[in-house]
Chains A and B, each alone.
Chain A
């Protein structure tokens, strides 16, 4: 999907990047990273679905992934 493409475009410009996906698109994301020359690129996977979560539930869930995002963007 296009968020993978966008992530790679940042990397090409020297900007470390990661992408947040939902579990249903894991295979597609892995496939796209591989197909676009960044096999094994990290990503952050949230459970699916998230569209029905209320705002406070979504925030609480997102906060669980902050450390993972930071690890992926730094050495």
Chain B
């Protein structure tokens, strides 16, 4: 409270149980109307109910959270599109909101509208400094906290969360990628506005400034895709590999396509049973539950990190430099989703 008894708007929202710990742009009716001008949709239209609390998210509610997050009105269609995708049953947002894991719904936005609003896929794209990336991802998180109740210690049993739970929205480095986009690899047109969402952890970085040809390079990247403590090795799980453009160009220079690299990473990334048994989440019963045939009693049996090729989302992003970012996935039956959205 201010000295004259007036409410300090910043303190008011910072004290909310659903606050992400950072100040929000104060929602006023004027700001809400300004945000809603960016869509032709009826503000009362229900986008869906956010689990587990199952509070409704109307177009107006999404606009309010978008403005609180710092979005410009032109970002609203992306937020609306992203939320709708995340509420699909196969994405299993309900499970992720409560899980002990720390995964977040990473939005990968492709198409001309992403470029128009300044979504960033180059230097520093997973970090601070880019309003569209930061605020679109944050708008989603504020809804998951407020409307969904996915609050640590309350609706969520998350042990660490990860920094990706502050914000998780990125696009590809189209200017420097040797290949068509992730959306095109899934069958969309290059001029389609598409969002892909996958439940993943914060990226870990794989440096390789030695390899000049794909075999060794992909070997090293595949190594970052496996770990005893990664649920990717113990369940069917999504994964995002964001190849830096420099690494992608090493592969493309030999004629490898996006599909070729994707296939090779699926083949290379994995560990033998012998290596997995000695730590982490290995259990015989879990291996028997894979959607592929694994003999958990054969020490030489190779357990792939990617159990279904659809689970690996391969993009080209980041600045120029000898690095690729890898994001590991969840364990609880979430399947990545993708679809078009209307700007």
Contact = CB atoms under 8 A, between A and B. Distances in A.
A25 B99 CA distance: 9
B157 interface: yes
Contact of B155 (A2, A5, A24, A35): A35
B153 interface: yes
Specify the main secondary structure of chain A where it touches its partner: helix
B54 interface: yes
Contacts of B149: 31, 35
Contact of B157 (A2, A5, A28, A36): A28
A34 to B, nearest CB: 9
Main secondary structure, interface of B, reads loop
B98 A28 contact: yes
B54 A28 contact: no
Nearest to B153: A27
B100 interface: yes
Contacts of A31: 52-53, 149, 154-155
A27 B154 contact: yes
Contacts of A36: 54
Interface in A17-41: 24-25, 27-28, 31-32, 35-36
Contacts of A1: 52, 95, 98
A2 B54 CA distance: 13
B94 interface: yes
Contacts of B155: 27-28, 31-32, 35
B224 interface: no
B167 interface: no
Contact of A35 (B53, B95, B157): B53
B156 interface: yes
Contacts of A25: 98, 157
Contacts of B98: 1, 25, 28, 32
B156 to A, nearest CB: 7
13 contacts: A1-B52, A1-B98, A2-B94, A24-B157, A25-B157, A27-B155, A28-B154, A28-B157, A31-B53, A31-B154, A35-B52, A35-B53, A35-B155
Interface of B: 52-54, 94-95, 98, 100, 149, 153-157
Given A25-B157, A31-B53, 16 more contacts: A1-B95, A1-B98, A24-B100, A24-B157, A27-B154, A27-B157, A28-B52, A28-B154, A28-B155, A31-B154, A31-B155, A32-B155, A35-B53, A35-B54, A35-B149, A35-B155
